[in-house]
């Protein structure tokens, strides 16, 4: 790519031959978006060319659940990743963004079950095979939707490498990883207390349980002593579980119960005798201090039971109805049983009292059914050894988590990690690769389908009916998508990846497990940076929810505002880990920005046309682009290069939201509001040299800077601009593959910046005065400018000040030439100049005096502040010399301003100054 030619694009503006008639008046996003996306796909830009000499940039997209439509969170993920990917592609890195979808086990199964329920059917009625077929149909449709919606958003991912967690490759990776863990003793089957969802009929991991505060009751139940008079009272929130009690535990130090240890109680109704025993873990302050022990249905009780070798008594079926151990209550649903139990206890006078009690209760994160803790035979991953390795790579800085404060949360969680229950009693997912032998009873664990038991050779083997937790396949996503366990070209070239970008809410569900499994399977980290984005909230910072009615649907937002505006609204001002507020105002502002760019380009294209027509004008544009003596030209170029430098730094630092903010400010204010307005004056008055080289250069580079954030509008405008330039044959076919701009420090012009700042300040303050005094926009007013060092620079800008501030006659003189104002006049004391605006009959003298007095006070305050700072030893001893020097200069300027203000005040109050 001939980068050099870009910078001198405007050399050739002279030779310009332009045939089309500019762009339409208004931007219509829809058609433009489709046109360019199709073009990009056809050009194959999103498929990287493997270059062994260049380090690739790789993002594996978090696989989207095949459960339904995309929401704003998906749009945020897609936009942030696309920004990184497009930026790296423009920098010339081989860039891979691999898209994919997740079968999302329980979530998808629940969706399909709900659809069946609408037809009055259950999955059991249609059978496993038919149900799986139905779910596959749903998944195919859903995948197509997800692909379409990502393309709509402009996501520049490599669709030729798209993956689904249930594809053959990723499925083989799942079986391989399982078998390897099993062989290393890191996967085991055991009876453990797990979270059970009675509706979904499956085990859930701790992370799939949502805890909600519930206002319930604490029931006090009397258990009669078996061998003597009296009773022990226990307190519980789940009275029906007394049927599964196998002991009552008291603290051996508790005076109330000391002599009861070794005795026993008889459970009401079912008449079962259970011991009273001492256990130091019993909290004497809870309830009555006597604890009922239900080991099969409570994790803490299970621990107590294991310490004392107590039996387990399971009283529930898997659907939360009571089983044969519940005696007369067998067959009842758990809450119906509770009612009956309470009534019966009451009848027998064994219900002592009921107190209101608020406590936290686990619910299934998919169907919101109350969880039933349950001892059950499940498969687990022994996570501790995996976690140790995963902690190490973050501690050593090989994997960085952004924002940083999540690192501590990561360590806390990983250091206290519990074994991961990976079996699910579902039909949708990866079948567990374990076969049970019906003859010898041993298990065969195998990647492929075994023909016989590996222990006794029996053919009577049955595969485990369960599937794996959906997060098991997600944990392998970074390498299974690239072909692991096969040693493919993709795996060698693109693993480890670069950045894992996702929401902070799935740091543990997913990110931590990817680090563990990536290290376990490949011996290498899966990515070097974790970028966690925040949640999306509405304008006022409220969480978006259907209930509140503040949900923004991405498709609707795209229809109304266009994709670029949506992407910009989602990301401008955002930073890693912080929640993003989005509402109509932000969307509108982003659309306005798109329109501003459109109009600026339209003006520049029209001016290019006009230059061609007037051959004389073409002659004037000569020499190299960056070779102008004009202050505003040097200024815009300096500001542009400073912007490029800042943006590059911010992008490298993952501060995309701030980079966008700075580009926005530059384009909107400096380029459109100032430079283009000045250029218009120059073009209209045929002032030489023509500003076109700078207009073209600034626009072209701004479009490239913005391309990662706003891919469609920038491509549309860039292509139009390109068509108008004689260099078009040397420019790339698309902005997608044009180089990202580089800052040129040689373009920095502090002198031009100082002069322009002053000119802008003069124009702004005159405009303010006009507005304050309600001067009609088309009326010229008189003004005199008195300047010091900047006098000659300001004189060259006289034409511009005159037009933009609407002042005529305008006199620009040196400060020494200043004479006392005879007529009533407004005096504006600015940083580098004073402006005198005679406003005969318009000024309220005392108000003017008040204004000047106020300003004088402010300046005085700033002087004393600065003065104190300079006198402060701590500052003067520590600050570098150039900083101190700068502060001293500031002080000198302020003192000068104060002086001039005092003079103005004395003139205002002197009788000769006014009449």
Question: Are 534 and 571 within 8 A, CB to CB?
Answer: no
User: For 649-679, b where at least 16 C-beta lie within 10 A, e where not — what string?
Assistant: ebbeebbbbbbbbbbbebbeebbbebbbebb
| Shortest distance in whole angstroms from residue 371 CB to Zn ion | 8
Single out the residue of 155, 135, 133, 131 nearest to residue 70, CA to CA: 155
| Shortest distance in whole angstroms from residue 205 CB to Zn ion | 13
Is 314 or 458 the residue whose CB approaches Zn ion more closely?
A: 458
| Shortest distance in whole angstroms from residue 362 CB to Zn ion | 11
| Shortest distance in whole angstroms from residue 445 CB to Zn ion | 13
| Shortest distance in whole angstroms from residue 208 CB to Zn ion | 9
Is 452 or 842 the residue whose CB approaches Zn ion more closely?
A: 452
Is 206 or 649 the residue whose CB approaches Zn ion more closely?
A: 206
Is 383 or 444 the residue whose CB approaches Zn ion more closely?
A: 444
Is 225 or 365 the residue whose CB approaches Zn ion more closely?
A: 365
Main-chain dihedrals φ then ψ at residue 216, nearest 5 degrees:
-120, -145
Question: Are 660 and 568 within 8 A, CB to CB?
Answer: yes
Q: Give the helix ranges, DSSP H, for 196-333.
A: 299-307
Is 453 or 621 the residue whose CB approaches Zn ion more closely?
A: 453
| Shortest distance in whole angstroms from residue 236 CB to Zn ion | 24
| Shortest distance in whole angstroms from residue 366 CB to Zn ion | 5
Q: Give the helix ranges, DSSP H, for 535-686.
A: 554-561, 563-571, 584-613, 615-620, 631-652, 656-665, 677-684
- Sign (positive/negative) of CA torsion 637, 641, 646, 648? positive
Is 459 or 773 the residue whose CB approaches Zn ion more closely?
A: 459
Helices (H) and strands (E) in the chain, counts: 29, 30
| Shortest distance in whole angstroms from residue 537 CB to Zn ion | 27
C-alpha 580/C-alpha 571 separation (Å) is 8
C-alpha 909/C-alpha 128 separation (Å) is 96
Question: Are 620 and 691 within 8 A, CB to CB?
Answer: no
DSSP bridge partners of 214: 359
Question: Are 681 and 800 within 8 A, CB to CB?
Answer: yes
| Shortest distance in whole angstroms from residue 113 CB to Zn ion | 10
Q: How many CB atoms lie within 10 A of CB 347?
A: 10
C-alpha 173/C-alpha 158 separation (Å) is 21
Is 453 or 570 the residue whose CB approaches Zn ion more closely?
A: 453
Distances (CA, A) of 871 to 135, 425, 440, 865, 867: 76, 75, 90, 10, 6
Is 376 or 641 the residue whose CB approaches Zn ion more closely?
A: 376
Is 365 or 795 the residue whose CB approaches Zn ion more closely?
A: 365
Burial of 561 (0-12, 13-18, 19+ CB in 10 A): buried
Question: Are 507 and 409 within 8 A, CB to CB?
Answer: yes
| Shortest distance in whole angstroms from residue 214 CB to Zn ion | 17
| Shortest distance in whole angstroms from residue 200 CB to Zn ion | 3
Q: How many CB atoms lie within 10 A of CB 479?
A: 27
Half-sphere exposure of 458 (CA within 13 A, CB side): 15
C-alpha 450/C-alpha 64 separation (Å) is 33
| Shortest distance in whole angstroms from residue 442 CB to Zn ion | 5
Is 110 or 291 the residue whose CB approaches Zn ion more closely?
A: 110
Is 453 or 530 the residue whose CB approaches Zn ion more closely?
A: 453
Is 209 or 506 the residue whose CB approaches Zn ion more closely?
A: 209
- For helices 384-395 and 513-522, angle between their N-to-C axes, nearest 10 degrees: 100
Single out the residue of 259, 255, 260, 216 nearest to residue 237, CA to CA: 216
Is 115 or 348 the residue whose CB approaches Zn ion more closely?
A: 115
| Shortest distance in whole angstroms from residue 136 CB to Zn ion | 22
Residue ranges in contact with Zn ion by CB under 5 A: 197, 199-200, 364, 366-367, 369, 437, 439-440, 453, 455-456, 458
Q: Which two tokens stand for residue 748?
A: 């920095």
Task: Please identify which residue in the block is written with the tokens 């305050």.
Answer: 861
DSSP bridge partners of 356: 217
Is 466 or 832 the residue whose CB approaches Zn ion more closely?
A: 466
| Shortest distance in whole angstroms from residue 122 CB to Zn ion | 15
| Shortest distance in whole angstroms from residue 739 CB to Zn ion | 52
| Shortest distance in whole angstroms from residue 585 CB to Zn ion | 39
Contacts of 305 (CB under 8 A, 6+ apart): 246, 247, 293, 295, 311, 312
DSSP 544: P
Radius of gyration of the chain (CA): 37
Question: Are 432 and 464 within 8 A, CB to CB?
Answer: yes
Please count the residues of the chain: 915
Query: DSSP assignment of 413-479, as one string?
Result: HHHT---EE-EE--SSSPBPSEEEETTT--EEE-SS--SS-TTT--S-EEE-S-EE-HHHHHHTHHH
Is 455 or 543 the residue whose CB approaches Zn ion more closely?
A: 455
Give the three-class secondary structure for 58.
strand
C-alpha 687/C-alpha 673 separation (Å) is 19
| Shortest distance in whole angstroms from residue 109 CB to Zn ion | 10
| Shortest distance in whole angstroms from residue 301 CB to Zn ion | 23
Is 164 or 435 the residue whose CB approaches Zn ion more closely?
A: 435
Is 437 or 738 the residue whose CB approaches Zn ion more closely?
A: 437
Pairing status of strand 400-402 against strand 527-533: parallel
């Amino acid at each position: 790519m001939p980068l050099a030619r870009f910078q001198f694009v405007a050399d050739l503006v002279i030779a310009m031959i332009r045939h089309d008639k500019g762009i339409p008046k208004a931007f219509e996003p829809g058609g433009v978006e489709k046109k360019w996306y199709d073009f990009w796909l056809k050009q194959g830009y999103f498929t990287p060319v493997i270059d062994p000499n260049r380090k690739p940039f790789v993002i594996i997209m978090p696989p989207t659940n095949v459960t339904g439509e995309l929401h704003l969170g998906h749009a945020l993920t897609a936009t942030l990743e696309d920004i990184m990917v497009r930026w790296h592609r423009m920098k010339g890195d081989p860039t891979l963004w691999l898209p994919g979808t997740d079968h999302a086990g329980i979530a998808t199964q629940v969706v399909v079950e709900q659809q069946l329920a609408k037809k009055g059917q259950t999955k059991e009625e249609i059978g496993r095979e038919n149900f799986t077929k139905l779910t596959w149909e749903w998944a195919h449709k859903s995948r197509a939707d997800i692909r379409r919606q990502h393309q709509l958003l402009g996501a520049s991912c490599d669709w030729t490498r798209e993956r689904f967690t249930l594809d053959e490759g990723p499925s083989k990776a799942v079986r391989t990883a399982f078998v390897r863990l099993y062989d290393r003793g890191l996967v085991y089957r055991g009876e453990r207390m797990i979270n059970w969802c009675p509706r979904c009929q499956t085990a859930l991991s701790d992370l799939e349980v949502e805890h909600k505060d519930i206002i319930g009751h604490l029931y006090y139940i009397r258990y009669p002593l078996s061998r003597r008079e009296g009773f022990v009272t226990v307190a519980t929130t789940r009275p029906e579980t007394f049927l599964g009690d196998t002991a009552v535990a008291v603290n051996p130090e508790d005076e109330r119960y000391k002599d009861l240890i070794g005795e026993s109680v008889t459970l009401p109704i079912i008449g079962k005798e259970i011991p009273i025993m001492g256990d130091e873990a019993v909290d004497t302050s809870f309830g009555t201090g006597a604890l009922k022990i239900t080991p099969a249905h409570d994790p803490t009780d299970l621990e107590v039971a294991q310490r004392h070798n107590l039996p387990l008594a399971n009283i529930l079926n898997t659907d939360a109805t009571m089983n044969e151990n519940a005696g007369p209550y067998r067959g009842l649903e758990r809450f119906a049983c509770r009612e009956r139990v309470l009534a019966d206890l009451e009848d027998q006078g064994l219900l002592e009292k009921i107190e209101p009690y608020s406590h936290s209760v686990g619910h299934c994160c998919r169907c919101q059914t109350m969880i039933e803790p349950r001892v059950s035979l499940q498969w687990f991953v022994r996570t501790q050894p995996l976690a140790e390795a995963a902690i190490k790579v973050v501690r050593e800085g090989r994997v960085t988590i952004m924002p940083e404060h999540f690192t501590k949360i990561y360590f806390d969680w990983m250091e206290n990690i519990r074994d991961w229950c990976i079996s699910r009693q579902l039909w949708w997912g990866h079948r567990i690769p374990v076969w049970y032998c019906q003859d010898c009873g041993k298990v065969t664990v195998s990647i492929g389908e075994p023909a016989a038991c590996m222990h006794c050779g029996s053919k009577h083997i049955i595969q485990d009916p369960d599937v794996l937790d959906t997060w098991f396949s997600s944990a392998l996503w970074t390498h299974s998508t690239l072909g692991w366990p096969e040693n493919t070209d993709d795996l060698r070239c693109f693993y480890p990846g670069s950045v894992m970008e996702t929401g902070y809410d799935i740091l543990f569900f997913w990110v931590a497990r990817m680090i563990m499994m990536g290290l376990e399977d490949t011996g290498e980290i899966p990515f070097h940076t974790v970028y966690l984005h925040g949640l999306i909230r509405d304008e006022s910072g409220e969480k978006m929810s259907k209930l509140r009615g503040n949900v923004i649907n991405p498709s609707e937002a795209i229809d109304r505002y266009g994709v670029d505006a949506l992407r910009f609204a989602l990301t401008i001002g955002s930073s890693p880990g912080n929640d993003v507020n989005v509402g109509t105002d932000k969307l509108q502002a982003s659309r306005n920005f798109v329109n501003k760019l459109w109009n600026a380009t339209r003006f520049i294209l029209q001016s290019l046309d006009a230059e061609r027509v007037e051959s004389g004008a073409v002659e004037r544009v000569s020499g190299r682009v960056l070779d102008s003596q004009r202050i505003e030209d040097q200024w815009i170029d300096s500001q542009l290069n400073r912007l490029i430098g800042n943006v590059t730094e911010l992008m490298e630092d993952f501060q995309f939201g701030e980079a966008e903010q700075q580009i926005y400010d530059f384009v909107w204010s400096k380029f459109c509001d100032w430079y283009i307005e000045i250029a218009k004056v120059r073009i209209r008055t045929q002032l030489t040299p023509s500003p076109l080289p700078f207009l073209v250069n600034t626009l072209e580079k701004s479009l490239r800077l913005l391309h990662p954030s706003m891919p469609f509008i920038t491509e549309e405008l860039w292509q139009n601009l390109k068509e108008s330039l004689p260099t078009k044959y040397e420019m790339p076919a698309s902005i997608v593959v044009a180089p990202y701009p580089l800052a040129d420090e040689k373009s920095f012009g502090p002198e031009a910046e100082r002069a322009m700042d002053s000119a802008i300040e003069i124009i702004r303050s005159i405009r303010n005065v006009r507005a304050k005094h309600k001067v009609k926009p088309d009326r010229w007013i008189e003004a005199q400018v008195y300047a010091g060092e900047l006098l000659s620079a300001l004189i060259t800008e006289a034409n511009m000040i005159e037009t933009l501030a609407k002042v005529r006659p305008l006199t620009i003189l040196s400060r020494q030439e200043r004479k006392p104002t005879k007529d009533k006049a407004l005096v504006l004391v600015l940083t580098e100049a004073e402006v005198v605006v005679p406003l005969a009959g318009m000024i309220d003298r005392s108000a003017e005096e008040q204004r000047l007095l106020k300003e004088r006070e402010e300046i005085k305050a700033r002087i004393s502040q600065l003065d104190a700072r300079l006198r402060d030893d701590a500052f003067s001893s520590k600050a570098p010399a150039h900083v101190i020097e700068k502060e001293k200069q500031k002080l000198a300027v302020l003192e000068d301003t104060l002086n001039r203000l005092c003079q103005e005040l004395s003139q205002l109050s002197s009788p000769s100054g006014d009449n």
